[in-house]
């Protein structure tokens, strides 16, 4: 059985590197993207079993990345964000509606 592939889309290098280290230590295959455009490209090229997605990204917002990925796949997407405003939470959930 192959290891699960996790796509981490996070612009903050220290968070990205920490997640990569911890996830690889647990046996996951990890793909990294530093902005929204790279995230969509990485998903298109490599696929993923799970996506860890920051909401606040350069070049393309996390919400836009969510929509792009959701158009192609029903892969689980976990929103990772420092935002805690109620409106931001609702906006973050909106792309998953069908």
Cα–Cα distance between 2 and 20 in angstroms, integer?
18
Question: Could you tell me which residue, 91 or 82, shows the higher pLDDT?
Answer: 82
How many domains does the chain contain in total?
Answer: 1
Q: Structure pTM? A: 0.84
Cα–Cα distance between 78 and 33 in angstroms, integer?
15
Backbone torsions φ then ψ of 75, nearest 5 degrees: -55, 140
Residue 1 has pLDDT above 50, yes or no: no
pLDDT tens digits for 59-81?
A: 999 989 999 999 999 999 998 87
Query: Range of 21's domain?
Result: 5-96
pLDDT tens digits for 5-40?
A: 999 999 999 999 999 999 999 999 999 999 999 999
Tell me the CATH number at 89: 3.40.50.2300
Residue 14 CB contacts under 8 Å (≥ 6 apart), including other chains: none
Residue 87 has pLDDT above 50, yes or no: no
């Amino acid at each position: 059985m192959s290891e699960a592939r996790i796509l981490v889309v996070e612009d903050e290098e220290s968070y990205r590197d920490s997640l990569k280290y911890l996830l690889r230590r647990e046996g996951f295959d990890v793909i990294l993207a530093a902005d929204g455009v790279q995230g969509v490209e990485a998903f298109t090229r490599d696929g993923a079993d799970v996506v860890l997605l920051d909401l606040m990204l350069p070049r393309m917002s996390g919400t836009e990345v969510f929509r792009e990925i959701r158009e192609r796949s029903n892969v689980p997407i976990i929103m990772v964000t420092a935002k805690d405003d109620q409106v931001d939470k609702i906006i973050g959930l909106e792309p998953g509606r069908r």
